[in-house]
Structure 1
């Protein structure tokens, strides 16, 4: 065995260890869909308060009692947060019984603090939802549990308890505490109760006027956020029915047929594929880049967790650009001796029907991934981790930061990942297996490198559609467009939901 193969073997083992470790760690991480569900719940709550521009106006809401539905969602999230806290505490106890790994210990500590903070926020809101359902004694018990723990949130819990106690107890700092620690529908409910008890009719009228304006905007945002995926799902289902019908009628001449007949002339062997994948993606992304990143941040004395929205967005963009530059450099150096390449390799052209294939692939992928994701959520029950960029994008309020996230997700990621997985890996695998088998294997690897267990199956489904579209067009612009549309649609929905949450 040559020295090169020994090095590749060692790097492969390291890559497998790192990837398995990250996937196992993601097992206990909360799934992004849980947080997204609460944002949608908050937006629907606020939208439900809009009385319409005319007395006869009726709002088509998906539930008859939004408050009851929201209470159920928040209590479910409350139980999940309690479970995550117990998991994080268990990890810290294990670290105390053995030689601690600083990075793992810090990660577990940060997760514990984050979940405890989330639980306090959830408990405040659960109490307010209970009051609106006529469950005042239960709300007082919920807030009593918060007051029993010494923390800043306990003051707000004390304020809320006073507002719904019999007789009421109005604390002098009630209004500032409500404005500081509550937002959206929850802030309006608490301030309404406060102003009614204080008999401040002018302040109450102004509050109701402001809430109607906010509720109308929330309804528009809620309708828009639901209309976009609804249209995409409907269009995708129609397209899939058409494609399946055409396949049944035309057989091998249908759009869905003939994929295995698409072939590439692969001038390199499996060792080059192995080298590009292990060195160009795993070593650069999982070992080299984190070391360089952490050492640079340590030298600059910068903690990523304390960065502002723009700085975080820029950090992710720069990190991803370095990953792409490193991966593409390894790819180029690995295949340099085979240049010029045969036809159809890394093919990019504005000619042909690439745009319609990319758009059609996006529409077809939407209902497929939605169905797979719904099943997937039942499997993971709120766990399995998610892309760390998504919650930051959802909670971000800075327009420039959102723009930078867009450049990362909708431009940089499709460009690099399509060149790497569809441009190189998929065609290279056809040297050893059929084209459909290459699509499946490259899609699986594409999903795994995102390092979230809960996203493996949905991303593999998306990867299969990306691979099919690229195979049929043999034009990277088609899969890049599909990938960009997918990421852009996700960010747009998050922006609509996030900007309407407060």
Structure 2
């Protein structure tokens, strides 16, 4: 132990004496290393040291391996969320029972009473639906802002974190759309063979699309712009991100997709909605931002509108 200490001390003295040569040319640096190594032979405990005479003396610092330890491998969602875990489900219940269900079920009848029209024409229905969806989106953002942590800046809600910027959300969106359409097509084909062919599932939507250009435009904006932003903000940006902070991301995707399906109040389409929610949830988990799931949702709704219009 004493010999090792003397050897290290002697090597340090040699290195300090020849320190000015480290910033010289390669030839001088090579001479320094040869001279230094020849003197180092007098210290047997350090004779196994090797030096590279072609490269300057450098310090290699390893990166912190725990930089992304808050992420769960596949999932890019951070553990720290803008909402406390104790308030997530109460906020979700407040949204569903105070905003979503009243505006979805009773809004058109209220419009009918205000306009003194027993039956709304398709164009009025389309414009009313667009206005109601926009109102629900604004009120939802306000609700999420009010229930977030006091020190949280809500404008950061739609921003990427460090890991998100390294993942291609456009590629994820393209893959998600293709995978979702293929999956829905296969499930629809299977259901058609088991149950039989199904007529147009939404006659009201078909009527709106066949009415006028104004009704079609309003319907497109409502279904392909406002609805994707609204639902992805609630079910992925809020619910999925919040519950994934306290469980595995796979479990969070399944739970949020089940809530997403149930909130549509459609037993007939519940399985298909659950599958859609899972695909959107996986896309959001991998990319870590809402742009991917919003784009997939928007393109899927646009395809649905097109098929309904052509049917």
Q: Please give the TM-score of this superposition, normalised by the length of structure 2.
A: 0.66
* Cα distance in 2, alignment partners of residues 479 and 389 from structure 1: 27
Deviation at 1:338, TM superposition (A): 4.4
CA distance in 2, matches of 1:317, 1:356: 30
Going from structure 1 to structure 2, the CA distance change for 1:493 and 1:412 (only over 3 Å counts) comes to: same
What does the per-residue CA deviation read over 1:34-56, in whole Å, with 9 as the maximum and x for residues that have no partner?
A: xxxxxxxxxxxxxxxxxxxxxxx
The structure carrying a bigger helix percent of its residues is 1
Q: 1:310 to 1:461 in 2, by over 3 A?
A: same
- Seen in structure 2, the aligned counterparts of structure 1 residues 281 and 494 have a Cα distance that, compared at 3 Å, is same
Quick one: structure 1 residues 295 and 463, their matched pair in 2 at CA, closer, same or farther if it must change by over 3 Å? closer
Counterpart of 1:434 in structure 2 is: 248
Task: Find the counterpart in structure 2 of residue 308 from structure 1.
Answer: 121
User: Do residues 423 (structure 1) and 237 (structure 2) align?
Assistant: yes
Q: Closer, same or farther in 2 for the Cα pair 1:293/1:403, shift >3 Å? A: closer
| Correspondence for 1:31 | none
What does residue range 262-301 of structure 1 map to in structure 2 within 5 Å?
262-266=77-81, 268-287=83-102, 290=105, 294-301=109-116
- 1:346 and 1:476 in contact (8 A); partners too: yes
The answer for unaligned runs of 5 or more in structure 1 is: 1-256
| Residues 1:494 and 2:311 aligned together | no
> C-alpha offsets along residues 381-440 of structure 1, whole Å, 9 cap, x if unaligned?
678x9556533345x141221111100111001111111111111010113321011011
Contact 1:418-1:479 at 8 Å conserved across structures = yes
Distance 1:260 1:363, change over 3 A: same
Normalising by the residue count of structure 1, what TM-score does the alignment of the two structures yield?
Answer: 0.42
**Ranges of 4+ aligned residues in structure 1 off by more than 4 Å:** 288-293, 348-352, 376-383, 385-389
SS of aligned partner of 2:269: helix
More deviation in 420-429 or 367-376?
367-376
Q: How much does 1:468 deviate?
A: 0.9
1:484 aligns with 2:298: yes
Deviations 1:124-143 (A, max 9, x none): xxxxxxxxxxxxxxxxxxxx
**Match in the other structure for 1:464:** 278
**2:222, 2:305 → 1: CA distance?**
11
- SS state at 1:454 partner: coil
Q: Would the aligned equivalents of 1:469 and 1:478 in 2 still touch at CA under 8 Å? A: yes
Mapped partners of 2:151, 2:295: distance in 1: 28
| Partner residue, 1:414 | 228
Tell me which structure has the larger Cα radius of gyration.
Answer: 2
1:319 aligns with 2:127: no
- Counterpart CA distance in 2 for 1:271 and 1:277 is 11
| Alignment partner of 1:369 is 2:166 | no
Say if 1:288 and 1:312 are closer, same or farther in 2 by CA, change over 3 A: closer
Structure 2 unaligned runs (5+)? 1-71
Assess, with a 3 A threshold, how the Cα gap between structure 1 residues 482 and 288 changes in structure 2: closer, same or farther.
closer
